[in-house]
Structure 1
Amino acid sequence: MIKLTWALIAEHVDEWTGDDTAQGAAVLEAKVGAMVDASGMRPETVQHWRRDFLAPVVESLRTEGTAALARGESWSNAAGPLLACASPVC
């Protein structure tokens, strides 16, 4: 079991718990992406935000995060105003 938490600085904190890191990455991408899409930012700013902040954190969770969690370790990554952390849950 994995607990994934994330924060958008001064905006929002959320979490997800489940068994599959890939599913957690999809949830993170969908929920944060929806918030960014609804933020009122210009479309080019939304694209920049997704490319430079969200995508690197999601990719890190899918790769380094999956490996760390498989070893029973925690993982965290941040890009700009986005911070995400995942830990094994006993």
Structure 2
Amino acid sequence: MFKMTWALVAEHADEWTGAHFGEAAMVLDEKVGAAVAGSGMNPEAQAHFRDAFLSPVREGISMEGREAVGAGREWSKAAGPLLVVLTPAA
């Protein structure tokens, strides 16, 4: 089990707890994607946000994040206005 917390500067902050890194990446995509969609950005800006900021963080969850949490360490990654932290469950 681990906890994922994230913040999208000036828009949204939330958390999720679970045991599956793929599910964590899907939840992040859904929640941050909804915040971006509701932000008033045009479709091109939304696509750029997903490619430049959200995708690298999602990939990090499945790779470096999984490795760090498996070793009992915290992992964090920032991309533009998005910050995500994975913390092993106590």
Question: Number of residues paired by the alignment?
Answer: 90
**C-alpha contact (below 8 Å) 2:11/2:35 kept by paired residues:** no
For 2:86 and 2:52, locate their aligned partners in 1 and report how far apart those are by CA, in whole Å.
20
Cα RMSD (Å) of the superposition? 0.8
Structure-1 residue corresponding to 2:8: 8
Structure-2 residue corresponding to 1:76: 76
Q: Aligned with 1:41: secondary structure?
A: coil
For 2:67 and 2:30, locate their aligned partners in 1 and report how far apart those are by CA, in whole Å.
22
Structure-1 residue corresponding to 2:35: 35
Deviation string 1:26-74 (CA, Å, 9 cap, x unpaired) is: 1011110111112111110000000001111111111100111111111
**C-alpha contact (below 8 Å) 2:57/2:79 kept by paired residues:** yes
**C-alpha contact (below 8 Å) 1:2/1:21 kept by paired residues:** no
Q: Say yes or no: does 1:25 pair with 2:40.
A: no
For 1:40 and 1:16, locate their aligned partners in 2 and report how far apart those are by CA, in whole Å.
25
Gaps of 5+ in 1: none
Structure-1 residue corresponding to 2:61: 61
For 1:89 and 1:19, locate their aligned partners in 2 and report how far apart those are by CA, in whole Å.
9
TM-score (norm 1): 0.95
For 1:17 and 1:74, locate their aligned partners in 2 and report how far apart those are by CA, in whole Å.
14
For 1:20 and 1:73, locate their aligned partners in 2 and report how far apart those are by CA, in whole Å.
16
Gaps of 5+ in 2: none
Q: Aligned with 2:72: secondary structure?
A: coil
